[in-house]
Amino acid sequence: MWWRSDGLPGRALFSSDRTDGVSVAAEKLSGEIQEHGYWGGVRDRIPLAQTDRLDPSGELSLETDPSTGLVTIRPHGNLCLIRSGQDWTETDGDERRMYLEDVEPLLHAGMDFLRDDGLEIGCYANRYLRVTTDDGVETDKSFGMSWWRSLEDLETWSESHPTHVAIFRAALKYLSTMGLDARLRLYHEVTVTEAGQQDFRYLGCHDRTGMLRTRPS
């Protein structure tokens, strides 16, 4: 595994030396690491987490501009963002079949759960997306991106919720079967943001769009 360590906000972990997402802006990777695949590992890669629990601070706030209908949601402190990517471009044969038939459906189900029912476990919003070319043709790449009330809520889902346990078990079976020959490429980016570092703006959107579903009924 490789770990980006150039000082950009958050941390990213890759299964190869190819960057993706925000990490393409990084100057370098830290090199291969062995410490991976255990619960709580993400905190070991966020320096502040060594002295701070990164619990939520403050409250979400919502403002509506009566003249335009623009809704702005400003998150509380320590909102957690994770972006997890999958690239099966170079897979073929049994490996490709195993990923698309045994792993991806469980990943899709977990992403759907977070999208539809994740609010009750601390997932404010989730999207599972297929990467396309500039002219709209689907590629063999996807990623899930979700915003969480806290890093702890994300950790709890990852460690114990049935939807993620199913994903994790299928992925372990896949990787143990393929071993070092696996050509599936994976990455995780995790960021914990301070209050005021981002806001979310919506115009003409239904009330389940993104962070809008966090507002009181």
156-185 pLDDT, tens digit each: 999 999 999 999 999 989 989 998 888 898
Structure-token match 């709580």, residue found? 40
| pLDDT computed for residue 6 by the predictor | 40
| pLDDT computed for residue 2 by the predictor | 37
Determine contact, residues 190/81, Cβ cutoff 8 Å: yes
What is the rounded distance in angstroms from the CA atom of residue 107 to the CA atom of residue 168?
A: 9
76 has catalytic annotation: no
In a domain, 34, yes or no: no
What is the rounded distance in angstroms from the CA atom of residue 63 to the CA atom of residue 213?
A: 14
Catalytic one of 36, 76, 164, 188: 188
What is the rounded distance in angstroms from the CA atom of residue 21 to the CA atom of residue 136?
A: 19
| pLDDT computed for residue 103 by the predictor | 97
CATH number for the domain including 151?
3.30.70.100
In a domain, 88, yes or no: yes
In a domain, 68, yes or no: yes
| pLDDT computed for residue 59 by the predictor | 93
Provide the edge-to-edge strand list for the sheet that holds 200-202.
61-64, 71-74, 200-202
Residues in the chain, pLDDT under 50: 1-9
In a domain, 77, yes or no: yes
